[in-house]
Structure 1
Amino acid sequence: MCGLSGEIRFDGTYADTQAVARMTDAMAPRGPDASGLFAQSRCAFGHRRLKIIDLSDKAQQPLVDPDLGLTIAFNGCIYNYKALREELIADGYRFFSTGDTEVVLKAFHAWGPECVQRLNGMFAFAIYERDSGRLTLARDRLGIKPLYLSESGKRLRFASSLPAILAAGDTDTSIDPIGLNHYMSFHAVVPPPYTVLRGVRKLPPATYAVFEA
């Protein structure tokens, strides 16, 4: 299991890289093999890596493709990535790594956010488009891989765990009565988009969301 985090600003200021670093550090147990940060103007990503498929540094995350102008932070496993890779190669795409993360990135470039319809696996990812400043967040059909959100009028933060979101600071930690009711009624299960905190939400399963910086 890996961990991803990030922030995108809506007020024209630079992303808070220190907050992203704190979120990333809080997820060290999720990814003990490597840590990475990416920052470009209004957007910043962090990632904790557990090496599974491509063990080389070429698959280090956040993974940046400067030719396509895309950056991805990914957590999960795409079971049909080899078939998708061959299809993308036939369409003219070239790969510099051998894992599934780059396949997701290229699939997004080829087919847009609807590429999630073609992914067979468990995943949560964030993709930043350099030229448009657009951020896309996505989560697998069953919600196996988590993705927590904290949004204010000025920025959106996201991470693979609730403690990571809280590590960034500046989050409303008052109890959400709806989330607490679910927690007490369903034996600690809180259905999305709720959490037990007012200032934190979960991206629902089988969902992608697009944000404009």
Structure 2
Amino acid sequence: MCGIVGFIGSRANQKIVLQKMMDAIAHRGPDGQGAYFDDQAALGHLRLSIIDIKGGSQPMMNEDGNYIIVFNGEIYNFQELREELLRDGHIFRSHCDTEVLLHGYEQWGKDMLARLRGMFAFAIWNKREKTLFCARDHFGIKPLYYYQNSETGTLMFSSEIKSFLEHPEFVKELNPEQLQLYLSYQYSPGENT
């Protein structure tokens, strides 16, 4: 059970805020932490090592440093996808499914999602285009929450909602309609929380 967390477009002190957000979900990754920062983005990963203990450190970058990924989960068909990407000329530095996702996104973009078999949540930051692509498996086995501050535009994501409480731009508001649904079903159906 790894954990991912991050935000883009924030005016907050990135290093301090990201570390607080990671500390809030530290139980998700006892085997290590990693962080990435640039002028627009902060991405963090808490690691529970399962595959390629030495080569799977995150956040992970592609060869030219443009794409940065944080990933939680397992891609069951990553070996098949890796073979296909190798045939297309991609070069791998590890044997982990995280790197397969990174190269898969380079090769296929968001269409990569249709090829994935597994349980996953990930975020990929494109430095050049300043875009964040987040996805999770269709059944939501691996959690991925997001929040956008309507005033500042800051976008946050995390494996657990409680990490948002550590960001100064997170506004706590009760959604009465969702509260009723949550109390009835023990989860919030749809896109609201």
Shorter-chain TM-score range: over 0.9
Q: 2:113 aligns with which of 111, 116, 138?
A: 116
Shift of 1:32: 0.5
Does 2:85 correspond to 1:85? Answer: no
1:69 is aligned to 66
1:53 is aligned to 51
Shift of 1:15: 6.9
Deviates more, 1:39-48 or 1:66-75: 66-75
Could you say if the C-alpha distance between residues 68 and 35 of structure 1 is closer, same or farther in structure 2, counting changes exceeding 3 Å? closer
Segments of 5+ residues of structure 2 without an aligned counterpart are none
Q: 1:30 aligns with which of 14, 24, 28?
A: 28
Deviates more, 1:87-96 or 1:172-181: 172-181
Q: 2:123 aligns with which of 123, 126, 130?
A: 126
CA deviation map 1:5-51 (0-9, x unaligned):
111107xx587232221111111111110101100110110010000
SS in 2 for 1:59: coil
- Distance in 2 (CA, whole Å) between partners of 1:77 and 1:133 is 26
Compute the TM-score of the two structures, normalised by the length of structure 2.
0.93
1:106 is aligned to 103
Does 2:178 correspond to 1:179? Answer: yes
Q: Which amino acid aligns with 1:157?
A: M
Larger relative strand fraction? 1
SS in 1 for 2:94: coil
- Distance in 1 (CA, whole Å) between partners of 2:85 and 2:12 is 34
- Percent identity of equivalent pairs: 40
Q: Which amino acid aligns with 1:169?
A: P
Does 2:157 correspond to 1:158? Answer: yes
Preserved contact between residue 148 and residue 158 of structure 1 (Cα < 8 Å) = yes
Number of equivalenced pairs: 191
Shift of 1:140: 0.8
CA deviation map 1:103-141 (0-9, x unaligned):
000000000011011000011100011211111011111
1:168 is aligned to 167
Preserved contact between residue 123 and residue 139 of structure 1 (Cα < 8 Å) = yes
Preserved contact between residue 5 and residue 159 of structure 1 (Cα < 8 Å) = yes
Preserved contact between residue 14 and residue 41 of structure 1 (Cα < 8 Å) = no
Shift of 1:172: 2.1
Runs of 4+ in 1 over 3 A off after TM superposition: none
Superposed CA RMSD in Å reads: 1.5
Compute the TM-score of the two structures, normalised by the length of structure 1.
0.85
Preserved contact between residue 9 and residue 15 of structure 1 (Cα < 8 Å) = no
Q: 1:41 aligns with which of 16, 25, 39?
A: 39
- Distance in 2 (CA, whole Å) between partners of 1:192 and 1:121 is 22
Preserved contact between residue 62 and residue 103 of structure 2 (Cα < 8 Å) = no
